[in-house]
Amino acid sequence: MQRRILITGAGGYIGSLLARRLAERHFVVGVDIREDKTAPFPFHVMDVRDPAIAGLMREHRIEQVVHLAAVLEDSGDRQRDYDIDVNGTRNVLEACVANEVRQLVVTSSGAAYGYHADSPAWLDEQDPLRGNPEFAYSDHKRQVEELLATYRQQHPQLAQLILRPGTVLGAGTRNLITRLFEGKRLLAVAGSPSPFVFIWDQDVLAIIEKGVTEEQQGCFNLAGDGALSIHELGVILDKPVLAIPASVLRAALWLGNKLRLTGYTPAQINFLRYRPVLSNRRLKTEFGYQPKKSSEEVFRFYLAGARQRQGS
């Protein structure tokens, strides 16, 4: 059965790969603020906050929406980022309801759980979402999920599939997280294992495709099996780990921020200290998907790609 699918963020890393993959079997419409002249499907340059997105859904008789558009890195303008993340999602939700869209798939994040000392060792989908106000990305993901929960109550006819990925890595990934691995040494907070869970980008694509074609609903963590501490990452990277006491790191961030040497603040030390560790139990048992790569296998795959690029 050919489906009629609109993808926001279709010009991004995951969005462009997903749109091309789905377009092989379905009618796909892409939306992004960046133009993609090579897209083999209808592509519209449009902001997710634009009310015209409702007309676009109506024009193309859209049945399912995959909402990937989001601010991935802090722009320095918190209000702008909030407007895109939260109000943009609200606009997409309103357009879906107005056009009687059957299913909305949203990529949230494990960051929605927040970075807290009292988080469980493995976070389950039923654990509370406590995205930290000091991290725009984490805070906005929490607020987006609260908005989605409200719409689930008010508009149950719109099925929602919410995906909460850990750190997504592929052969060519470069982002805010991978920059942590590129220096001569890894930075850690003394006494904290700073665990990471990774999910292969190809697993993310397969999960979204499965969720769309089966019209699944619910909330699911996306992570490969297992987790890696910052010290285990150091061994794999063959790099030393510089463990700094929290008080010293907090003071250094305070000074660096005052001197405008860094955009990070002392409050953001928890980003390194208390990383959310996602359980994938429900992904496997309820959603019905076994990630093809474990967290360690994903990281080693990413590292091989990074080293190949450096050597070329």
pLDDT for 312 beyond 60: no
Segment 66-84, tens digit of pLDDT: 999 999 888 889 999 999 9
What tens digit of pLDDT does each residue of 207-224 get? 999 999 999 999 999 999
Q: Is the separation of the CB atoms in 293 and 200 below 8 Å?
A: yes
pLDDT attached to residue 111: 96
Range of lowest pLDDT (24-28, 96-100, 241-245):
241-245
Confidence of residue 86 (pLDDT cuts 50, 70, 90): very high
The pLDDT value given to residue 22: 98
The hierarchical CATH code for the domain 4-175+198-227+277-311 is 3.40.50.720
pLDDT digits 0-9 by tens, 106-157: 999 999 999 999 999 999 999 999 999 989 999 999 999 999 999 999 999 9
List pLDDT tens digits, range 147-206: 999 999 999 999 999 999 999 999 989 888 898 898 899 988 998 888 999 999 999 999
Per-residue model confidence (pLDDT) at position 276: 95
pLDDT digits (tens, 9 = 90+) for 252-301: 888 887 888 776 677 778 888 899 999 999 999 999 999 999 999 999 99
Please give the structure tokens belonging to residue 184.
């001569």
Q: What is the pLDDT of residue 263?
A: 66
Question: 3-state SS of the chain?
Answer: CCCEEEEECCCCHHHHHHHHHHHCCCEEEEEECCCCCCCCCCEEECCCCCCHHHHHHHHHCCCEEEECCCCCCCCCCHHHHHHHHHHHHHHHHHHHHHCCCCEEEEECCHHHHCCCCCCCCCECCCCCCCCCCCCHHHHHHHHHHHHHHHHHHHCCCCEEEEEEECEEECCCCCCCCHHHHCCCCEEEECCCCCCECEEEHHHHHHHHHHHHHCCCCEEEEECCCCCECHHHHHHHHCCCEEEECHHHHHHHHHHHHHCCCCCCCHHHHHHHHCCCCECCHHHHHHHCCCCCCCHHHHHHHHHHHHHHHHHC
Separation of alpha carbons 38 and 41, rounded Å = 9
Tens-digit pLDDT profile for residues 88-107: 999 999 999 999 999 999 99
Break the chain into its structural domains and give their ranges: 4-175+198-227+277-311
- pLDDT exceeds cutoff 80 at 302: yes
